[in-house]
Structure 1
Amino acid sequence: MRRRLAILVATTTSLVLVAFLVPLALLIRSFAEDRAVHAATVEAQSLIWMVANTDTAELQRGLRTQGLAEQPVSIYLPDGTVVGEQTPPTRAVELAMRGQSLAAETPEGREILFATVDADGQTAVIRTLVTTEAMSGGVVRSWLILALLGVVLMAVSVLVSDRLAHSLVRPTRRLADVSHRLAGGELDARATPEGPEELRDVAGGLNHLAGRIKELLREERETVADLSHRLRTPLTSMKLEAESLSDPADARRIGASVAELERAVSEIIGDARRRAVETGAHAVPVLCDAAAVVRDRVQFWSVLAEDTERPVELDLALGPVLVALPESDLAACVDALLGNIFAHTPDGSAFAVRLLAWPTGGARLVVADAGPGFAGLIDGHTGPLRRGASGAGSTGLGLDIARRTATASGGTVRLGASEWGGAQITLDLGAPKELSPGQNG
């Protein structure tokens, strides 16, 4: 911004200087010419009386004694005698001999001619030559002074504009720094109102926004706390109802489902609290063993798969396979993908879960099924990756959870077709940043 303002001011100043100095330079040249011509004219006119009242010999003596040496002067007498500067008559002299005073341009400069009457009553011509050097005397020096003045004015204008730009850029950068700190979770960051009135208004608005964000997060924490209390009661009731069932197998199965639901609710509440109070500036890097998490979640869903007669293929890399995700986030992602399989494929459809560890860190998680697959799949990307979009009448949140999980780890997600012709979701999960390549085995 400072550079742009300096360039703008320099351009504007240069245009103003050109519009002012160029006419002034031309005026100086014209003034110098007029001054030299006027001096030569006065000098030549001073000889008219001498030519009209003296003879040739006295005229020659008079020119020598007066010392008129500003410009070369020649007096052409009617008998062809030339007194003073011995210059052959020009066409302008011949014209002036007819009784006409005039000025004429020559390659050497400008000649001034006056026709007068000598002592014998005949026409004589007084000629003086104003050379080009005489007409331009002092012009170059004046132009150099003007050029120096223009450079000084340009430098002063650029310096002043730079100082002005600095007074604008400094508070702007401080506002940007405060906004970055707020985006990083440092909610106590505040901007100091400074600079022009507009920037002070922006600083006030940014401080108000920061206070509002902090207030909303406080309300969110309170809401999460209330939610935890509200959910604990029905979960406890469901657990007691499950324990009262007459069939022990049903009681164990429903009790395990309730316990899993309680665990999921607890993790959701804990995650909401963590994000509500997390500042970001002191965030601790998170990681988990993807092999252990995937194995645990597949074992959980295997019970339901057995009830619905779904073949399950599990291919896991030897652990630990460390990825840059909390255990709860990866577990929620696997649950969402496997839950989609049970919700959107017919009973008896097979599915497979594969986990491949990368030598440089991170892993690739592939979940494939033998269901109907994705509709409108083009080059590995399709609408279901957008939150709330689904081609099967669902909420579309499952694949969005997978996308956000992969992105949070520094990886990517792709959709494709499985070997059975169904859907295949491939997640590339990034390695924890504090691990060196190959450290995760």
Structure 2
Amino acid sequence: MRGRLFRLVAATASLVLIAFLVPLALLVRDVAADRATAAATTAAQSLAPVVAAADKATVGLTLAQIQSTSRYPVTVFWPDGHLLGTPATRSHAVELAARGRSITVQAPGGREILIAVQGGAGGTSVVRTFVTDAQLRAGVARAWLILGLLGAGLLAVGLVVADRIARSMLGPVTALAALSHRLSAGDLDARVHPGGPSEIRDVGAALNHLAGRIADLLAGEREAAADLSHRLRTPLTALRLETETLRDPAEAERITAVVDALERTVTRIIQDTRHPHHRAGVHCDARQVLTERVEFWSALADEQDRAVTTTLPDGPLPVATGRDELAAAVDALLENVFAHTPEGTAFSVTLEAVSGGARIVVGDDGPGLPAGDLPARGRSTAASTGLGLDIARRTADTAGGTIDLGASPGGGAQISLTLPEPPATP
């Protein structure tokens, strides 16, 4: 913006100065020429009465006196063809003036002024003076130089003023941009001191108010989520007490493990809502997490006669996300299969290493995704919590990965969750 305003002022000022100085320069040139012509004409006219009334000797004395004080050469052409004064050619203009008409004509090297003098013996005499081009332009170059310097000075002043105005506007705008970047980075305490023109001050005040409003809304949302999570601890405690009354030790151990995982998730929700940020350095073994979650869902798959195909790497495969977060994401992907495909539909779970991380692929042989609406399987329905695949998508976004929805080789849906590997420890 500063450069554009600078160029705009430069162009506008240049046009105004050109429109003002060019006519003024031409006027100065014409005034100088008219001044020199008038001075030469005065010198010639001062001799005309003497030529008309006196003899040649008197005219010669007067002419010598005039030439001693005048810068312009004076010549008198007599009717008999003789001349007196500065030698000059009897041109066609002189012949025309000899007919009784005073004229001024352009001649090579300057301007010729001819005064017709009538009333003398023998006919009309002509008094001639000549103004050179240098005399016609005397002082013009200096005046043009002064005008040029004046124009350059005015242009420089205009550009300095434009730069000051641009700085006064650019500073507050830059501060507003910096505030928006800080807010987008999560610094909700950032504020700006409104400055500059009234419009920019209004924008700064509105942005400060918006930042405060966002902070208030997020604080309320975090407190509500934390409060809800705390409330979940009561039924979790009751559920844990119920598991202790089970007579089957294996069943009690399995349900207790589920309750422990759920309690860890609730604790993590409380921590994340109060301090929402990605924890640097957190990682887990994707193979181990996937093995545990597939084993958990296999019991329900057996009850619904679903064939499960699992493909896992031989060794550990670390990814840059927490164990609980990855478990929740895998549960969301598998729950999506059970919720949106009929019983008996086979599905597969694949974990593979890719460049810079790992990819989890969950595919099924169900009806697939609606045509032209791939994210539909991630939306809430009347029987769902409304989270859909948002848990898996949020896990991918937080870790810096991606989630893709498409079609499986069997014609059903296929969801791929790609996660980066953890950064190397220095």
Q: Same fold (TM over 0.5)?
A: yes
Q: Distance in 2 between matches of 1:403 and 1:79?
A: 117
Query: Which residue matches 1:364?
Result: 359
Contact 2:284–2:321, Cα closer than 8 Å, also in 1? yes
Q: Distance in 1 between matches of 2:391 and 2:225?
A: 20
Residue 409 of structure 2 is aligned with which of 404, 419, 422? 419
Shift of 1:266: 4.1
Matched position secondary structure for 1:365: strand
Query: Which residue matches 1:39?
Result: 39
Report % sequence identity: 54
**Which is worse superposed, 262-271 or 143-152?**
262-271
Kindly report which structure 2 residues correspond to 1:210-221, keeping only aligned pairs within 5 A, or say none: 210-221=211-222
**CA distances 1:85-112 after superposition (whole Å, capped 9, x unpaired):** 3222222222211111122233433222
Query: Which residue matches 1:66?
Result: 66
Shift of 1:245: 6.5
Contact 1:9–1:158, Cα closer than 8 Å, also in 2? yes
**Which is worse superposed, 251-260 or 57-66?**
251-260
Contact 1:369–1:422, Cα closer than 8 Å, also in 2? yes
Residues 404 and 92 of structure 1, relative CA distance in 2, 3 Å threshold:
farther
Shift of 1:362: 1.5
Q: Distance in 1 between matches of 2:394 and 2:371?
A: 22
**CA distances 1:165-206 after superposition (whole Å, capped 9, x unpaired):** 222222322233233223322333222233333333333333
Matched position secondary structure for 1:398: coil
Shift of 1:78: 0.5
**Which is worse superposed, 415-424 or 54-63?**
54-63
Matched position secondary structure for 1:373: coil
Shift of 1:32: 1.0
The aligned amino acid for 1:192 is H
The aligned amino acid for 2:403 is V
Q: Distance in 2 between matches of 1:114 and 1:185?
A: 93
The aligned amino acid for 2:143 is S
TM-score (norm 2): 0.87
Q: Distance in 1 between matches of 2:365 and 2:171?
A: 61
Kindly report which structure 2 residues correspond to 1:1-400, keeping only aligned pairs within 5 A, or say none: 1-67=1-67, 69-117=70-118, 119-120=120-121, 122-240=123-241, 260-275=261-276, 278=277, 284-359=280-355, 361-376=356-371, 382-384=373-375, 388=379, 397-400=387-390
**CA distances 1:285-317 after superposition (whole Å, capped 9, x unpaired):** 543332222222222212211222222222223
Shift of 1:421: 2.2
Check if 1:435 corresponds to 2:419. Answer: no
Contact 1:292–1:319, Cα closer than 8 Å, also in 2? no
Matched position secondary structure for 1:329: helix
Q: Distance in 2 between matches of 1:76 and 1:395?
A: 120
The aligned amino acid for 2:368 is G
Contact 1:385–1:399, Cα closer than 8 Å, also in 2? no
TM-score (norm 1): 0.85
- Root-mean-square deviation (Å): 3.1
Q: Distance in 2 between matches of 1:27 and 1:385?
A: 80
The aligned amino acid for 2:332 is A
Contact 1:289–1:320, Cα closer than 8 Å, also in 2? yes
Q: Distance in 1 between matches of 2:369 and 2:287?
A: 27
Shift of 1:350: 1.9
Q: Distance in 2 between matches of 1:85 and 1:287?
A: 110
Q: Distance in 2 between matches of 1:111 and 1:341?
A: 109
Residues 414 and 29 of structure 1, relative CA distance in 2, 3 Å threshold:
same
**Which is worse superposed, 229-238 or 346-355?**
229-238
Shift of 1:39: 0.9
Residues 12 and 192 of structure 1, relative CA distance in 2, 3 Å threshold:
same
Shift of 1:135: 1.5
Residues 395 and 235 of structure 1, relative CA distance in 2, 3 Å threshold:
closer
The aligned amino acid for 2:350 is R
Residues 423 and 133 of structure 1, relative CA distance in 2, 3 Å threshold:
same
**Which is worse superposed, 404-413 or 233-242?**
233-242
Shift of 1:79: 0.6
The aligned amino acid for 1:274 is H
Shift of 1:262: 4.5
Residues 140 and 323 of structure 1, relative CA distance in 2, 3 Å threshold:
farther
Shift of 1:35: 0.8
Shift of 1:147: 1.4
Matched position secondary structure for 1:124: strand
**CA distances 1:352-388 after superposition (whole Å, capped 9, x unpaired):** 22222235x21222221111222325xxxx4417974
Contact 2:287–2:316, Cα closer than 8 Å, also in 1? yes
Residue 408 of structure 1 is aligned with which of 398, 402, 418? 398
The aligned amino acid for 1:300 is F
The aligned amino acid for 2:197 is P
Residues 8 and 389 of structure 1, relative CA distance in 2, 3 Å threshold:
farther
Residues 287 and 249 of structure 1, relative CA distance in 2, 3 Å threshold:
closer
Contact 2:2–2:163, Cα closer than 8 Å, also in 1? yes
Matched position secondary structure for 1:105: strand
Contact 1:72–1:128, Cα closer than 8 Å, also in 2? yes
Shift of 1:413: 3.0
Contact 2:104–2:113, Cα closer than 8 Å, also in 1? yes
Residues 27 and 123 of structure 1, relative CA distance in 2, 3 Å threshold:
same
Residues 24 and 345 of structure 1, relative CA distance in 2, 3 Å threshold:
same
